[in-house]
Amino acid sequence: MNFADRLDAALERVRTPALVGVDPHLELLPAPFAAARDARAPRVERAAAVEAFARELIDLVAGRVAVVKPQSAFFEVLGADGVAAWERLVAYAHACGLLVIGDVKRSDIASTAAAYATAFLEGLPGAERSALCDAITLNPYLGSDSLLPFLDACERSDAGLFVLVRTSNEGSGEIQNHGQPPLCERVADSVAALGARLVGRSGFSSLGAVVGATQREELARLRARMPRAILLLPGYGAQGATARDVRAAFPDRTRPWRGALVNSSRGVAFAWREKRNANRDWKDAASAALDEMIGELGAALTASD
């Protein structure tokens, strides 16, 4: 089944657009996983500690959200051992009934892009498929021709893509708002045009877009240019965006979990580090933070004002 349709059905079950980022910053992991940052521990043990943390986080969120988004960098930092942990983790998330968006932000010329599409979305012939992602994030700087091999792979294997349009970091406007119209609007138009071939029965396309939840003013404008794209909105919580900031992303006020995903990474996984959670177990703190996020989104997205 088309990725956008699978995602839409999964969101309908959980009735929240909350998405949990799995970003195991070594320095931020709770004490039981301190082996991850132990310079004297063998790398394979450090990767195992990262994996153990990520699995517990997944156990915590499974059934409550539809999707998790592991961040590749925090696995790659442990080299081949980290990538092996990534593969096991993706398979584990699938076994827990979750969809997986691999946050890899890859980009390259077409012949190389095809290899990345195989690596993350299609798999080599004969390869184990459980460790493949349902979707990945992509960087558009090389232009549409660099995205086409990924679109082809999505068509063949019912996978999805989220192209960076307007990112959540403070300096993102430097490049993404360059020119007139601003570059990000041009990229949004490309996403809308290229995504037409991947529109499913749900009316959404498997070619989605990343728009920072911190870009409140631009969100409505970008949503209007990409009416069928599923928007992935990072920046909630730790980066400062609130539930009200993301309202413009949702096309259907009566079903405010369709058409967009609101990501929180550090705000959930590392809630235990916040002052208000001092002395609280990391899992209790994460669970409460997720409840809070789901509640805030539900309230803000259905409010009539």
Which residues belong to the active site?
A: 105
Distance from C-alpha of 168 to C-alpha of 211, rounded to nearest angstrom: 7
Given 172, 242, 277, 287, the residue binding its own copies (CB under 8 A): 172
Using the minimum distance from each CB to its own copies, give the nearer residue, 89 or 99: 89
Beta-carbon count within 10 A of 163 CB: 26
304 binds its own copies (CB under 8 A): no
Does position 1 bind its own copies by CB under 8 A? no
Tell me how far apart the alpha carbons of residues 39 and 284 are, in angstroms, rounded to a whole number: 29
* Closest-CA residue to 135 (of 64, 216, 229, 35): 229
Q: What's the CA gap between 234 and 252, in Å, rounded?
A: 20
Percent composition of the chain: helix, strand, coil (DSSP 3-state, to 5): 50, 15, 30
| Under rule CB under 8 A, residue 300 binds its own copies | no
Q: Which is nearer to its own copies, 271 or 301 (CB)?
A: 271
**Cα–Cα dist 166/173, whole Å:** 8
- Judged by CB under 8 A, the residue of 31, 125, 254, 278 near its own copies is 125
Question: How many chain residues interact with its own copies (CB under 8 A)?
Answer: 67
Helices (H), 15-109: 43-61, 73-76, 79-95
Question: Which one among 91, 142, 288, 300 touches its own copies, defined by CB under 8 A?
Answer: 142
Q: Would you count residue 240 as binding its own copies (CB under 8 A)?
A: no
Residue choice 8, 23, 158, 218 for contact with its own copies (CB under 8 A): 23
Applying CB under 8 A, which of residues 52, 113, 213, 230 lies at the interface with its own copies?
113
3-state secondary structure of 172: helix
Neighbours of 251 (CB within 10 A): 16
Q: From residue 289, give the alpha-carbon distance in Å to each of 257, 295, 297.
A: 18, 10, 12
DSSP 17: -
The token duo for 155 is: 């068509």
- Residue the block writes with tokens 């703190």: 285
x/- string (CB under 8 A) for its own copies, residues 45-84?
-x------------------------x-xx-xxxxxx-xx
Q: Does 129 bind its own copies (CB under 8 A)?
A: no
Question: Does 35 engage in binding with its own copies (CB under 8 A)?
Answer: no
Residue 105 or 244 having the CB closest to its own copies = 105
Binding residues for its own copies, rule: CB under 8 A, are 23, 25-26, 38-41, 43, 46, 71, 73-74, 76-81, 83-84, 86-87, 105-113, 115-116, 118-119, 124-128, 131, 139-146, 164, 167-176, 178-180, 183, 186-187, 190
